[in-house]
Amino acid sequence: MALFGRAVDVLGADRVIAHIGHASTRQVLRLAEAAAPLGITRFALLTPYYLPTDDDGIVDFFRVVTGALPGAAVYAYLFPERTGLDVAPDVLRRVMALPGMAGVKLSGGAAARLDEYASCLADGKELFSGDDSTLPWVLANGGTGVVSGVSAAFPQTFAALARALDAGPGTAADELQATAVRLVALAGPTIPRLKVALAARTGAAWANRMSQPGVADDVRDAIVEAVSRHR
């Protein structure tokens, strides 16, 4: 909740999408209720995790949440490797037909199936990929954009890529996309790698809250050098 509040203070409530995913529907609703006084009206919601459910259970999960949040815009978040749930395109179509569903974010194996999921969305629904190295492909398949962690450490490069793609295909976009792929491969595979990049960019310490693999010295040096080169 402190993070939600800080985001609203910096960006304004209209630019904040608060992730309220939880294994428990009750806790999802508690988080949404606590976020409401901040003026947040857009929410991302991971599918249930840890305990398995079936197709109807997935749809019912989103139905309960959207029913409890009238007027809110909800974005489904599919990440099969982290949730244990492989949501079929037809199930996503049922979820997206619920009142209040605004779009979907795809990560991991779901992102690789973006073209399948895109075919399930009605006009006006947004589709984002969590694979921040695939922006041209996402846009070509009717997606809205990528949710990019790596761009936090390399904002100029990713912003330039977005502008180049908006201007149309060409050499500049191709070169920037190749650079983005290299940066994602370098800083994106693990959270500790990304935090090395953020520390190099900001000069602040970035700790890890969970047990994560370490970063080898040569990789750390390469990340720091890349941040310096792409300021």
pLDDT tens for each residue of 141-197: 999 999 999 999 999 999 999 999 998 877 899 999 999 999 999 999 999 999 999
Given a cut of 70, the residues of the chain with pLDDT beneath it are none
Class of domain 1-147: alpha beta
User: Is residue 67 classed as helix, strand or coil in its secondary structure?
Assistant: helix
**CA nearest to 16, candidates 50, 47, 39:** 39
| Cβ proximity of 147 and 105 under 8 Å | yes
Q: What pLDDT shows up at residue 169?
A: 74
C-alpha distance from residue 140 to each of 100, 111, 144 (Å): 26, 14, 10
As to burial, measured by CB atoms within 10 angstroms (0-12 exposed, 13-18 middle, 19+ buried), residue 35 is: buried
**CA nearest to 129, candidates 160, 139, 119:** 139
Q: What pLDDT shows up at residue 171?
A: 85
Q: What pLDDT shows up at residue 8?
A: 98
**CA nearest to 74, candidates 123, 117, 12, 17:** 17
| Cβ proximity of 73 and 53 under 8 Å | no
Going from N- to C-terminal start, the domains of the chain cover 1-147, 154-231
Q: What pLDDT shows up at residue 168?
A: 82
Long-range contacts of 175-184 (CB under 8 A, 24+ apart): 177/135, 177/136, 179/230, 180/132, 180/133, 180/135, 180/150, 181/133, 183/150, 183/154, 183/157, 183/226, 183/230, 184/131, 184/132, 184/133, 184/150
Q: For residues 118 and 120, what is the distance between their CA atoms, to the nearest angstrom?
A: 5
| Cβ proximity of 49 and 27 under 8 Å | no
| Cβ proximity of 94 and 65 under 8 Å | no
What residues form DSSP beta bridges with 18? 43
Q: Which residue do the tokens 């149309």 mark? A: 168
Q: For residues 77 and 216, what is the distance between their CA atoms, to the nearest angstrom?
A: 32
Q: How big, in percent rounded to 5, are the helix, strand and coil portions of the chain?
A: 55, 10, 35
| Cβ proximity of 212 and 138 under 8 Å | no
